[in-house]
Amino acid sequence: MFRKIVVLLALFCAPYSLLAWGVLGHRAVARIAENHLSPTAKREVARILGRETMPLVSTWADELRNDPQFKETAPWHYVNVPTGLDYTAFAAQLKATVQPAPALPANAYAALLQMRQDLKDPKKTADEKRIALKFLIHLVGDVHQPLHLGRLEDKGGNTIQVNWRGRDTNLHSIWDGDLVEYPGFTFTEMTAAYDHPTSTQVKEWQKSDPTAWLFESYQLCSPIYASAATPPTKFDWHFYPTFGPTVEDQILKAGIRLAGMLNEVFDK
């Protein structure tokens, strides 16, 4: 499958669809990460991506999965686990989904770990490392969108019908795009508005591991599902003050943690 992906690398270099934070959110995550890369990581990222940039490639993994040949990558964007788990049980569920190579990753967690390992592997080719980096940039963003850790029975909120400011949609779509787009920022404006973490926050967020990141998103699902628990659900402008800060925090954390992961990969 990776050989097929290599062939298509040159074909997918422009935005295609609004999925998981949308083009806007993913590009903001990538730009924030760029702002926090170490000199070594910045140099290595530029070497691997060539003429492309982190914001430009941040949606590549979504573009790729729209091709029927690469439907195997669709589960790499989310994780479904039972509700009501504590951290220990949650971590055990994630660990159980990770299979050794050559098995394909089963979900976003397994794919994230695999892409990080591929970037570290000196035996991987330049094309394989480019694939791994592009996936990694995207997947760190994905796992910070809470409903990508949502319930299996409603496909992460995709089957929960709601009304957003007079338009019929679903709960997942609101979190993928509508809440991100509501302030009216470009991704560079969003970066300028959100990228003001304290040094303590940066250290704290970067020292946590992907299991902790996913558990945070998993916990955030509870109030999100509660907001749509009584249909018909109609959301108006009041919805953004309630959940907008969560969107902002998750996009910022994703960027800071992506930078931390890349710094760890390349500085060592």
User: How far, rounded to the nearest angstrom, does the alpha carbon of residue 31 sit from its chain's CA centroid?
Assistant: 14
Residue 12: is its pLDDT beyond 90?
A: no
Alpha-carbon separation of residue 136 from 84, 114, 116, 200 (angstroms)? 28, 9, 7, 24
CA nearest 102: which of 3, 12, 10?
A: 3
Residue 262: is its pLDDT beyond 50?
A: yes
- Helix or strand (DSSP H, E) at 180: helix 179-181
Q: For residue 126, which amino acid is it?
A: A
What are the tens digits of pLDDT across the range 41-57?
999 999 999 999 999 99
| Rounded CA separation 109/237 (Å) | 33
User: How far, rounded to the nearest angstrom, does the alpha carbon of residue 70 sit from its chain's CA centroid?
Assistant: 19
| E strand spans, the chain | 161-164, 167-170, 233-235
Domain hosting 86: range is 1-268
CATH code, domain carrying 179: 1.10.575.10
Q: For 114, left (φ over 0), alpha (ψ -120 to 50), or beta? A: alpha
Q: Of the ranges 203-207, 218-222, 226-230, which one carries the lowest mean pLDDT score?
A: 226-230
**Structural domain total, the chain:** 1
What pLDDT does 246 receive? Answer: 97
**Mean pLDDT for the stretch of residues 124-130:** 96
What are the tens digits of pLDDT across the range 62-117?
988 777 877 889 999 999 988 999 999 999 999 999 988 788 999 999 999 999 99
Q: In 3-state terms, the chain is what percent helix, strand and coil (to 5)?
A: 65, 5, 30
**Mean pLDDT for the stretch of residues 189-196:** 98
| Rounded CA separation 38/31 (Å) | 14
Residue 18: is its pLDDT beyond 80?
A: no
- Determine if the pTM surpasses 0.85: yes
Q: For 20, left (φ over 0), alpha (ψ -120 to 50), or beta? A: left
**Mean pLDDT for the stretch of residues 147-169:** 94
Residue 15: is its pLDDT beyond 70?
A: no
* Beta strands 161-164 and 167-170, pairing class: antiparallel
What pLDDT does 16 receive? Answer: 31
**Mean pLDDT for the stretch of residues 245-261:** 98
Q: Is it true that the peptide bond before 102 is cis, omega within 30 degrees of 0?
A: yes
Q: Return the structure tokens found at 239.
A: 């919805």
What is the percent of the chain with per-residue pLDDT over 90, rounded to a whole number?
A: 80
